[in-house]
Amino acid sequence: MPLDYDELMATKVVDLPVSYTDSDVILYALGIGMCSNPLDPKELPFVYEQGAPLCTVPTLATVLVPDMFPPDLGWDFGNVLHAEQRLELYRPLPQKADILINKWVVDAFDWGPRKGAVILFGAEGRLASDDTVLFHLGCTVMARGDGGFGGPVGKGPRPHRAPRREPDLSCDIDTREDQSLLFRLTGDRNPLHADPATAAKAGFDVPILHGMCTYGIACRAILKTICDYDYTLIKSFDARFTAPVMPGDTITTDMWQDGNIVSFRCTVKARDTIVLRNGKCTLAA
């Protein structure tokens, strides 16, 4: 059954209650590899709450929205590809909070039966106590099996372009072979990230790392290299996913800094593969 454009555009959830605690903050930080050296004084405040307020990784916001793109839209969910992620933070995330989530379909484009459909989703998180807006999320999803449903032809947001010069800075971060098993506890239980048989059917030798984990590792690299771990500096974080990371890979994040804009790209040099591109991080001015 093809997608119904009108029904799709009417898809909306309002005031979905979500609560998170310091345990969720710590689990996310561990999931993106924070404090692999447990004596690191810069990363310990992201995973240990004693002595000072717990620091929150800005990209934690991306795992606070349940089913950002839900499986029951009438599409071929097994053929869905998360292509881009966008995040705008209006204030640093608290170390625990009760929040209300609004989420909706922003737009949908029909690229035809051979190319599929492009669907844009949005979400907003607000403090339940006083309705203060914490963050806004946007993501672009390729529904490769759902083109030809009769929707308009169009494109999503124009991707950010990195400067045409050598990177100003670079940061290597190792991933662990069991990292996808840990990161899946933040919410994405897709067996592609845990079950060798499922991974093999998809053409992979091993279960792959979550794209959102790679996204979080890129944020960690910028926190480490440019922000000196001041998580309050990051105001937005956008990127496009281009290839999977295998647990155990080393991710190299190349960065170009122009004022308060950091362009970035993530590569697995061992396979000469760009895994994340068109990255744009906006810092506090």
């922003």: which residue's tokens? 106
How far apart CA 236 and CA 219 sit, in angstroms, is 10
Residues with active-site annotation:
188, 193
C-beta neighbour count of 206 within 10 angstroms? 13
Handedness of CA 264, 138, 142, 155 (dihedral sign): negative
**Structure token pair of residue 140:** 């672009």
The partner residues of 95 in beta bridges, in order of sequence, read none
DSSP SS3 for 109? strand
How far apart CA 173 and CA 224 sit, in angstroms, is 10
Residue 36 identity (one-letter amino acid): S
Nearest one of 276, 281, 224 to 245, comparing CA atoms: 276
Contact 204, 17 (CB under 8 A): no
